[in-house]
Structure 1
Amino acid sequence: MADLTDDQKRDFESAAFRRLLQHLDSRGDVQNIDLMNLAGFCRNCLANWYREAAEAEGVALSKDDSREIVYGMPYAEWQEKNQRPASDEQKAAFERNRPKH
């Protein structure tokens, strides 16, 4: 592995995270339940992890604020614009594969 400084690692990780958010933003057709069923995490998980990281550094961040950072808009707006009802198949897969985090 390349000899990266801690600052470089942080900067590259930050850039990768921003790219992930851009990618997810461009794929509003991909439902959170699909992400959960396939990968075991979704946009809400990312928002929770972001909030937890902020809180670990002493920065208070609300659930709504962290979701807006991840979704690029208020969560309710994203839901109205993109979220579809989950199919019975999606719900069954979620129950079988429910992440434990």
Structure 2
Amino acid sequence: MDDATRTEIEAAAFRRLQQHLMQDRPDAQNIDMMNLAGFCRNCLSRWYQEAANERGIPMTKDEGREAFYGMPFDEWKAKHQTEASPAAQAAFADSHKD
């Protein structure tokens, strides 16, 4: 497989992951994803922003989030984010001590 094809396939897989998290499973809470997998939508949006910046494309944290979430982050939170349970908050605090 050549590099261009590999990049296209990786981009398609990323877009499918984004669709799954944003449209198919907006109920999956970021804190639960962090506790289970060690990353969440915010991580993906930060990685998107970092990739843009590495290529000389200026992008702020908020712009990266809006690009990934498809809307301003505050709007996403209002529509989909619920209050994290005390157990989820404790698990997050325990796994992210540093």
Task: Give the length in aligned residue pairs.
Answer: 97
What TM-score do you get using the length of structure 1 for normalisation?
Answer: 0.91
**Residues 80, 86 of structure 1: alpha-carbon distance in 2 compared, 3 angstrom cutoff:** same
Runs of 5+ consecutive residues of structure 2 not aligned to the other structure = none
1:21 aligns with 2:18: yes
- Quote how far apart the aligned CAs of 1:98 are: 2.0
Instruction: Tell me the distance in 2 between the aligned counterparts of 1:14 and 1:56.
Output: 17
Corresponding residue for 1:47?
45
Corresponding residue for 1:33?
31
Task: Please give the residue correspondences for 1:1-101 in structure 2 after superposition, counting only pairs within 5 Å.
Answer: 4-25=1-22, 26-98=24-96
Query: Which consecutive aligned stretches of 4+ in structure 1 deviate over 2 angstroms post-superposition?
Result: none
Deviations 1:7-28 (A, max 9, x none): 0111001000000000001211
Instruction: Tell me the distance in 2 between the aligned counterparts of 1:66 and 1:94.
Output: 23
For the aligned residue pairs, the C-alpha RMSD in angstroms reads 1.3
Instruction: Tell me the distance in 2 between the aligned counterparts of 1:65 and 1:91.
Output: 27
- Quote how far apart the aligned CAs of 1:68 are: 1.1
Percent sequence identity is 53
